[in-house]
Structure 1
Amino acid sequence: MKNEIIFIVKEAPEGGYIARALGYSIFSESDTLDAIKEEIKDAVRCHFDDQEMPDMVKIHFIKEEILAI
């Protein structure tokens, strides 16, 4: 079984995106979707050493919408 880490990415209220890892204290933020992906990779590399590095990073994008009734 592959070792993986999952990130939840949401739009930030002030603009841009916020990423949070599930089960780890890893957080990141950036202005664009492309940049948040790079920030996530950098944060994972900084958090884990070579022996603990996950094999896979999954990103779940959450977009909240408000519907008027």
Structure 2
Amino acid sequence: MNEVIFLVEETVEGGYQARALGHSIHTQDDSLPELREQVRDAVHCHFDADALPALIRLHFVREEVLTP
């Protein structure tokens, strides 16, 4: 496997959450630098050392609601 992709969204409480596409990996934290470390740790816990992906990609999703 070359990479694992995470969708990153802001939470209602003010932090961030990240969930991997195609894998049961989910983590959250209060700031982006801390979230990045949490994602790295979660990937290392989820995969064996010989199966670690070469890249971890963070895809940021932002939702905005507009009224007419």
When normalised by structure 1's length, the TM-score is: 0.92
Q: Which amino acid aligns with 1:32?
A: S
Could you tell me which residue of structure 1 aligns to residue 22 of structure 2?
Answer: 23
The gaps in structure 1 that reach 5 residues or longer are none
Where do 5+ consecutive residues of structure 2 fail to align? none
Name the aligned partner's letter for residue 29 of structure 2: S
Letter in 2 for 1:9: V
Q: Distance between the aligned counterparts of 1:14 and 1:23, measured in 2?
A: 26
User: TM-score scaled to structure 2, two decimals?
Assistant: 0.94
Q: CA RMSD in A?
A: 1.0
- The structure with the greater share of residues assigned to helix is 2
Tell me how far 1:68 sits from its aligned partner: 1.8
Off by >2 Å, runs of 4+ in structure 1: none
Cα displacement string for residues 11-39 of structure 1 (whole angstroms, at most 9, x for unaligned residues): 11122001000000000000011111111
Number of paired residues?
A: 68
